[in-house]
Amino acid sequence: MALQEIQQPRDYTYFLDYVKHLGMLLFTISMTTPVLGLIVFDVETEIVEGEKVIDSQLIWDKPFLPYVAGFLILVIHWFKFVEVHHSMRSTNLNQILITFGYFFLLCLYPYFEMNIEFTSDQPHSRAIFSGVWGLLGIFSYWKLHHAKKNDMLKEDMTNERIKVLSNEILADPVVALACIGLSYISFLAWLAGMVALVPIANYLLARTSIRAGH
């Protein structure tokens, strides 16, 4: 009687380096694309009274603050992504799929960020951008807790640090949800929410973990 070979679960650990390099590439593209869009000299041709008129747009003619706020949000996401990924000692197919869901949203982020320049007066445009930003936080939270549940994290990622980092990650979807509501109030209210609420939410949620003894 032939011995049946026991099927061992596939080892996906070698994907960690590839995912890391792909993540750094996508973060670089997502961070630099809006910056290039901001500094590039735009020239548009308009028809005014039957004649072509060239209209130029310089950096100071563009909505500068949304670009800065959007860039800083990505910087915060980069720090959290690097910490989570650096703390992983193994991975599996589901974890890779969650990460690619995160990458998909990361690719969409600069498109909706740059779209604000042309549709800043449209509440739904601001709300969609805030929604993508919030989903980035949700996928980041999912990535961390899926790794914890499946014992994929290194020993130096303690339970205390996981709880604090979880709260810091949750700051993004919480603030993004608030900004979706602010989108329908006014552009300035939405912008103020992006600039002010992110550090406030990070501080308060981190303090919540500390006071709870975590």
Kindly tell me if the per-residue pLDDT of 41 is higher than 90: no
Closest CA to 144 of 161, 166, 119, 124: 166
What is the model's pTM? 0.80
pLDDT in tens, 68-98: 888 888 998 999 999 999 999 999 999 999 9
Residues 6+ away with beta carbon under 8 Å from 66: 113, 116, 117, 120, 191, 194
pLDDT in tens, 162-214: 988 998 899 889 999 999 999 999 888 988 888 888 878 877 776 765 554 44
Task: Give the pLDDT score at 213.
Answer: 46
